[in-house]
């Protein structure tokens, strides 16, 4: 594990932050910790949606949901292809959750506010979901925009076209940008495009997520790894970028 207080780099050819003027953050399981209980609720709502759509019991719906996820990248993409599901209806249902466990994160807000340049959210979720979560965290006002799954024409990360659409829409030079993301495979394309990459992993294993989704992968497309986003920004990023 590469902890924030060490600022270790994962490869000898890794990318730093002195050149960065655009800071891009994934939302779910990146900007909030697992104890915020956001993703487990969304995951349960997706299972319930599948149950109702196909008339399945909970276990069967869960199995089908995971099959869809592994085959198509997201359950939503599968349902759109297989059954022509209205994506807006699905997202409204999946993100109808209780936000009360999300705590204001003053340290994270302060660190993001002090980052020099533009800040954006890039998520496979909906804009409404991202804005509600970011508002509860106390960080929404620091972001210029949210690029959500609708903006991506419902093509999810890690598809290359999604990153290209994002970069093009916002006029971002990938060589001057960094992406913070919790799933290692979602950083392959950004790194290939020239972005610096930071993998954000949980401090303890999250039982609601699969192993590959939270693994501290040490490969060439991962420049940095941290289990404390606010601490990493404060200790490893801001000292490099602050004049």
Write the pLDDT tens digit of every residue in 43-68.
999 999 999 999 999 999 999 999 99
The reply to whether 4 falls in a domain is no
Residue 219 lies in a domain: yes
Question: Cα separation of 237 and 184, whole Å?
Answer: 20
Total number of domains in the chain: 2
pLDDT range class, residue 2, cuts 50, 70, 90: very low
Residue 109 pLDDT more than 90? Answer: yes
Residues 191 and 234 in one domain: yes
* Of the residues 94, 116, 133, the one at which a domain ends: 94
The CATH number linked to 198 is 3.40.50.1000
Q: Would you say residue 6 lies in a domain?
A: no
* pLDDT computed for residue 9 by the predictor: 57
* Both structure tokens of 107: 């340290």
> Are 162 and 209 found together in one domain?
yes
14 found inside a domain: no
- pTM score, whole prediction: 0.92
Range of the structural domain that residue 125 is part of: 22-34+102-241
Same domain? For 26 and 68 the reply is no
Same domain, 204 and 107: yes
Buried b / exposed e across 23-60, counting CB within 10 Å, b at 16+?
Answer: bbbbbbbbbbbbebbbbbbbbebbbebbbeeeebeeee
Please indicate, yes or no, whether residues 230 and 172 belong to a single structural domain of this protein.
yes
pLDDT recorded at residue 67: 96
Supply the pLDDT for residue 142.
98
- Do 112 and 86 lie in a common domain? no
Q: Which residue carries 């192993």 as its tokens?
A: 211
The answer to whether residue 76 is domain-embedded is yes
The residue-averaged pLDDT of 59-78 equals 95
pLDDT at 29 over 70: yes
Query: Are 237 and 161 in a shared domain?
Result: yes
């Amino acid at each position: 594990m590469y902890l924030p207080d060490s600022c270790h780099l994962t490869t000898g050819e890794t990318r730093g932050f002195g050149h960065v003027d655009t800071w891009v953050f994934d939302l779910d399981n990146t900007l909030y910790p697992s104890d915020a209980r956001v993703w487990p609720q969304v995951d349960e709502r997706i299972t319930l949606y599948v149950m109702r759509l196909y008339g399945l019991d909970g276990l069967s719906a869960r199995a089908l949901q995971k099959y869809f996820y592994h085959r198509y990248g997201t359950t939503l993409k599968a349902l759109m292809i297989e059954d022509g599901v209205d994506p807006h209806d699905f997202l409204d249902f999946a993100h109808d959750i209780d936000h009360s466990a999300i705590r204001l994160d003053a340290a994270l807000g302060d660190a993001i506010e002090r980052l020099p340049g533009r800040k954006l959210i890039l998520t496979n979720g909906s804009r409404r979901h991202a804005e509600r979560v970011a508002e509860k965290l106390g960080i929404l006002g620091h972001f210029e925009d949210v690029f959500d799954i609708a903006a991506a024409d419902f093509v999810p990360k890690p598809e290359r076209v999604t990153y290209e659409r994002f970069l093009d829409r916002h006029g971002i030079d990938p060589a001057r940008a960094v992406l913070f993301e919790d799933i290692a495979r979602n950083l392959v394309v950004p790194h290939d495009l020239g972005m610096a990459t930071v993998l954000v992993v949980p401090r303890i294993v999250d039982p609601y997520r699969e192993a590959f989704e939270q693994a501290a992968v040490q490969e060439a497309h991962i420049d940095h790894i941290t289990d404390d986003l606010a601490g990493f920004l404060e200790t490893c990023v801001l000292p490099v970028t602050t004049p």
